[in-house]
Structure 1
Amino acid sequence: MRIVVVSAGLSVPSSTRLLGDRLAAVAAPAATAPEPGPADVEVIELRDLAVAIAHTFTSGFPGRALSDAFEAVAGADGLIVVTPVFSASYSGLFKSFFDALGVTDPDALAGKPVLIAATGGTARHSLVLDHALRPLFSHLRAVVVPTGVYAASEDWGAEGLDGRIERAAGELAALMAGLSTARPLPRRDSFEDVTPFEERLAALRPAG
């Protein structure tokens, strides 16, 4: 099992990176339970890839470091994405990374479990999760976990954040475990064994 954290934080230290680390710390052991040992975790810091992302849009080709990041995201069993809030939405760097990924590999996130999270200076921007992040990853055909996590400045150290982290990370872990054990439907080579609709409907009617 492998979890990749994509952090769009710009500062050092970064509350965005901190939130991603805390989510991964809970999700990693839960994703492999009851097996011993946590899932592997890799963190991608987008600020280190900002120039490469910009060059991708002008040249049409990602550099080696950005290609490695795309491969990590595409190969992950679960994804944790965290962005700071700028102008009531995700950051431009965050959006550009996933835009470039979509151009390079349109199916990279198809069916992939994704936990969305964001940080901001005030709780008024918490709707960014449902108004911006959730639609973006639904468009990319990811499977977005029900609980997103928003952390305002006043949430750090306050009651409530730990509970949201536990719930969201647990949902991601459960989804990862469920998809890893799911079996594909048996393939049908012909339609000979398909019951006609009329017969199925007749079987539902009361006798007599």
Structure 2
Amino acid sequence: MKLVVVTAGLTQPSSTRLLADRLASAVSRRADVRTQVVELRELAVDIAGAFVTGFPNAKLRAAIETVTEADGLVAVTPIFSGSYSGLFKSFFDVLDNTALTGKPVLIAATGGTARHSLALEHALRPLFAYLRAVVVPTAVYAASEDWGGAADSFTDGLGERIERAADELAALLTHTRRPEEERLVPFEEQLAALRRTDGISGA
């Protein structure tokens, strides 16, 4: 299976990319996936060009195909002014609005303060619901103080939230995957089977 990680971190190194990598690693421990990363920072000019011209160039088109052909997504954005970044939103705006239909998605975000954590629920989750994706129940937010933090008596730590979200995405990936042994039976074979059955019952 193909897991695609879309990360909208603007700096290098980036806490957004770090969270994305931790989520992808946790999913890969639970499901047999090939992971590919789409760094939106590297596509910023191409995305802007697509808005101006109405057409994605070859580089952006390849990224779009990578995302639409994925079996599942991990989508991570920094939070600015209480919502996802403009770069993050712009990338998903250039996708066809049916491109993610039925696709399992784990949403996550980073920010300087825990006060922005609800952006996952009032901004990211509705965005992917509009795109008809299947968003896992646990959204993962990492504030500055979460890095290296452990759970307390009231809340799970970042590590626990990552593991729970990875469990949910892996379960969806496994559930939606077509079994390898399942195949489409040609009509001729189905007809031959019916004839054999009729022959036996006629005897």
- Determine if the TM-score, normalized by the shorter chain, exceeds 0.5: yes
Q: Report how far residue 180 of structure 1 moved.
A: 0.5
Corresponding position: 1:107 with 2:98: yes
Specify the alignment match of 1:141 in structure 2.
132
- Cα distance in 2 between the residues matched to 1:106 and 1:168: 25
Specify the alignment match of 1:25 in structure 2.
25
Matching of residues 39-188 of structure 1 within 5 Å: 39-101=33-95, 105-159=96-150, 160-181=157-178
Q: Report how far residue 107 of structure 1 moved.
A: 1.8
CA RMSD of aligned residues (A): 1.3
- How many percent of aligned residue pairs carry the same amino acid? 66
- Cα distance in 1 between the residues matched to 2:65 and 2:29: 23
**Secondary structure in 2 aligned to 1:13?**
coil
**Secondary structure in 1 aligned to 2:77?**
strand
Q: Report how far residue 181 of structure 1 moved.
A: 3.6
Specify the alignment match of 2:7 in structure 1.
7
**Secondary structure in 2 aligned to 1:12?**
coil
- Structure 1 consecutive aligned stretches of length 4 or more whose deviation exceeds 4 Å: none
- Cα distance in 2 between the residues matched to 1:106 and 1:99: 8
Q: Report how far residue 28 of structure 1 moved.
A: 1.5
Q: Deviations over 1:38-87 (max 9, x none)?
A: x1100011010000000001111101111111001011111000000000
- Cα distance in 2 between the residues matched to 1:119 and 1:167: 17
- Cα distance in 2 between the residues matched to 1:119 and 1:78: 20
**Secondary structure in 2 aligned to 1:79?**
strand
Letter in 1 for 2:78: P
- Cα distance in 1 between the residues matched to 2:63 and 2:167: 25
Letter in 1 for 2:173: M
Q: Report how far residue 29 of structure 1 moved.
A: 2.8
| Number of residue pairs aligned between Structure 1 and Structure 2 | 175
Q: Report how far residue 122 of structure 1 moved.
A: 0.3
- Cα distance in 1 between the residues matched to 2:18 and 2:165: 15
Q: Report how far residue 169 of structure 1 moved.
A: 0.8
- Cα distance in 2 between the residues matched to 1:72 and 1:31: 19
Specify the alignment match of 2:185 in structure 1.
none
- Cα distance in 1 between the residues matched to 2:78 and 2:97: 25
Letter in 1 for 2:111: G
